[in-house]
Homo-oligomer: A and B are copies of this chain.
Amino acid sequence: MALLDTSKYAQGFGLGGVNPDLASERQTASFSVERLTTVLDGGAEHTRVRRAVVEAIERDPVFSRENQYFQTQNERYEAAVRKAVHLQKKMHEMGWREDGPEFIYIYRALAGDVAFLLHRVFMRSISVLGSDEQVAKWIPLATKHQLIGSYAQTELGHGTYLQGLETTAVFDTTTQEFILNTPKISAMKWWPGDMGRSATHTVVFAQLYVHGKCYGVHPFIVQMRSLRDHSLCPGITAGDIGPKMNFEHIDNGYLMLQNVRIPRENMLNKFCEVQPDGTYIRRGSQKINYFTMTTLRVSLLSDEVILPLMKACTIAIRYSAVRRQSKLNPGEEEAKILDYQTQQEKLLPQLAAAYAFHFINNYLHKLFDRGYKEIQERNFSSLPELHASSSGFKAMLSQYCTAGVEICLRACGGHGYSLLSGLPSLYTKILASCIYEGENTILLLQTARFLIKCFAAASAGQPVPQSVTYLAAVKPGKCPAKNKLDFLNPDIYVEAYQHIAIRLLSSTAAKLQDLIQSGVKKHEAWNQCTVQLVQAAKAHCHYITVKNFVETVEKLENKAGIQKIMKHLCDLYALHGIFSNAGLFLHDGYISGAQMDMITASYLDLLGVIRKDAVPLVDAFDFTDKSLNSALGSYDGNVYQRLYEWAQKSPTNQQISPAYEKYLRPLLHNKLSKL
């Protein structure tokens, strides 16, 4: 019962060495953390570049996120603009180029708190959809930041269904202008980033009308604000849509157009054009447009979906090795909460999933690189597979990772609920990934539509894309496993996942067929099957993820220590999936109840095995303390000291609240007594 050294309080507890509870976790690692980091980065050179970028960004005080948790929406916006402007300077200073190896790490290092991301989408859409003249005019201006661009597609009443957009662009042959209008409130552009307060220009998607005829949705470049004083241009009403769960640093905006006239040349016209006399001409295929959206979905997975889960795992697992609570055995000291089976069961499957998703992300990038090469050679045959993959995996990963971050947050008890843990902001941000770039349910149904087609083709003996050839392999059968160790055999569990994916798809295809044959209209029949179609699409993605994890582990044969722990994680990922979706596997008896007990036993055993390496496994993600920005998750594990130090910086501790003078003092003084 030694009394506290009060001088240490005054000094803020001096965050000295590493907490011994955390240090001991690192001494027993079964593998080299540095080597695993290199594997995750894809080679030592990548690791070097990444660390150099992170260091340069974090050393620069302009990019500091120190006060982020205390800032208002206005303050966060201002900081994001400051960072965006400074970033241009920084890139120049460091010699980082947009096509250089450093580029992919810059936004990761900034952890997203930077403005003008839509400026990049503005540029991309002009590059893809604009004619050579339009590209020549606008891209240099945008590159030099002589304007700030945004991208105005979504409307207050219209999201995913683009054909439903209501904004109009009417061609006026007399003036050679398009007249843009927001015909009703639901047509107001709503949500576009960088539009509420920053953008001077935007690409507006509107229904094109020429001589009273509607030609569907087209993109138009519209100036919103004066380049001289930033005032709104005539006919433009615009502003910020207000507070959100996160993304306070982004000025998501609204835009209303009232008889806004733009020259004929401002319609992006690579693929279609309105000639001076109003003749409408369509050129080439618009399929490639979808490819832009498709790649966007895949490119966001790493930084916006998988990394947040890795960060949440790092914070929660380090904290769980420091936090002690209750006793596992009477007479002993309080146990680390990571030693409780229930805590392991919350966190370790998330850790395994983070690795699984890192590897499936690599797989998707390879698939897309190959597809992109084919497309450049004018071979568009892989587009359906690429679209289905990007949709399904974006939905599955964002949904799983969002749930995973929430589990990590809750597993940290009360302290996880404090913004200072870093977990609430990870959660509120990743949650948006379930909605943006395609709502997840709609995306899964697009994947399902592709699978249903492929299943029909495969059943008819027609060729199907490589990732779905397994659909032809319908074989009922039973799982051959005899004991719990058999379930650590990847052949056994990959086969089980494959079986379930086929079963769900074939049974739903049959239901669909039955409904149609019984007279239900095709669209209505589809709607009646959608709950099951979503299940089938998820099962397909789950199967591919497990299979890819297994194949990745096989390729690590020259790295024995790492291969061994990755094999454990792969097993855990696979068995956790079966344990958590037991009904799918038991349904037709492919897995029996007795086998499910074996799976459960193996799964629970694995928790104990991986628990030993849990801290090194999150260390290998190689996050700096600054990038985690968490009082609970720092490398040194001095969680309580950091919580106390950080709390003192809160604005709630910077002044006596006016509430005292206004309300508390009158209340107490009215009836002041001596106690």
Q: Using CB atoms and an 8 Å cutoff, list the residues of chain A in contact with chain B.
A: 1-4, 6, 9, 13, 69-70, 72-74, 77-78, 81-82, 84-85, 141, 144-148, 154, 156-161, 164, 168, 181-186, 188, 190-191, 196-198, 200, 209, 223, 227-228, 230, 237, 239-245, 251, 254, 256, 258, 323-330, 334, 339-343, 345-346, 406, 409-410, 413-414, 416-420, 424, 428, 431-432, 434-436, 439, 441, 445, 521, 523-524, 527-532, 534, 581-589, 593, 596, 600, 604, 640-641, 643-644, 646-653, 656-660, 662-668, 671-673, 675
Decide yes or no: A640 and B81 within 8 Å by CB, A72-B72, A242-B646, A583-B583 being known contacts.
no
Nearest 4 CB-CB pairings of A with B: A582-B583, A242-B650, A240-B652, A586-B586
B326–A420 touching, CB < 8 Å:
no
Q: Within the assembled complex, what's the spacing in Å between the Cα atoms of A339 and B593?
A: 37
**Which of B2, B527, B586 sits near A183, CB closer than 8 Å?**
B2
B530–A651 touching, CB < 8 Å:
no
- CB-based nearest B residue for A638: B185
- CB-based nearest B residue for A423: B245
Decide yes or no: A445 and B342 within 8 Å by CB, A82-B662, A641-B185 being known contacts.
yes
B242–A420 touching, CB < 8 Å:
yes
A667–B145 touching, CB < 8 Å:
yes
Given contacts A85-B666, A582-B582, 12 further A-B contacts (CB under 8 A): A1-B209, A13-B185, A78-B662, A81-B659, A146-B673, A161-B325, A242-B420, A329-B521, A346-B441, A410-B435, A582-B583, A583-B586
Residues of B within 8 A of A600 (CB): 532
A81–B663 touching, CB < 8 Å:
yes
A77–B659 touching, CB < 8 Å:
yes
B184–A653 touching, CB < 8 Å:
no
A-B CB contact pairs (8 Å), 14 listed: A73-B652, A85-B666, A146-B668, A160-B325, A198-B664, A241-B647, A242-B650, A243-B652, A340-B530, A342-B445, A410-B435, A413-B439, A417-B432, A582-B583
- CB-based nearest B residue for A588: B593
Shortest CB distance A10–B (Å): 10
**Which of B183, B339, B664 sits near A148, CB closer than 8 Å?**
B664
Residues of B within 8 A of A641 (CB): 185
- CB-based nearest B residue for A326: B161
Shortest CB distance A582–B (Å): 2
B242–A657 touching, CB < 8 Å:
no
Shortest CB distance A284–B (Å): 26
A157–B245 touching, CB < 8 Å:
no
Decide yes or no: A154 and B414 within 8 Å by CB, A147-B675, A334-B164 being known contacts.
yes
B196–A652 touching, CB < 8 Å:
yes
Shortest CB distance A181–B (Å): 6
B524–A328 touching, CB < 8 Å:
yes
Q: Within the assembled complex, what's the spacing in Å between the Cα atoms of A223 and B671?
A: 17
Shortest CB distance A355–B (Å): 21
Residues of B within 8 A of A587 (CB): 582, 586, 593, 596
B197–A668 touching, CB < 8 Å:
no
Q: Within the assembled complex, what's the spacing in Å between the Cα atoms of A190 and B413?
A: 13
Residues of B within 8 A of A324 (CB): 157, 164
B72–A668 touching, CB < 8 Å:
no
**Which of B74, B524, B583, B672 sits near A227, CB closer than 8 Å?**
B672
Q: Within the assembled complex, what's the spacing in Å between the Cα atoms of A615 and B435?
A: 24
Residues of B within 8 A of A647 (CB): 239-242, 254
**Which of B329, B436, B648, B658 sits near A239, CB closer than 8 Å?**
B648
Residues of B within 8 A of A604 (CB): 528, 531
Residues of B within 8 A of A183 (CB): 1-4
Shortest CB distance A49–B (Å): 28
**Which of B159, B323, B329 sits near A325, CB closer than 8 Å?**
B159
Decide yes or no: A640 and B156 within 8 Å by CB, A9-B237, A244-B418 being known contacts.
yes
B258–A6 touching, CB < 8 Å:
yes
Shortest CB distance A479–B (Å): 14
**Which of B2, B157, B417, B666 sits near A431, CB closer than 8 Å?**
B417
Residues of B within 8 A of A673 (CB): 141, 146, 227
**Which of B2, B184, B240, B659 sits near A650, CB closer than 8 Å?**
B240
- CB-based nearest B residue for A344: B531
A644–B254 touching, CB < 8 Å:
yes
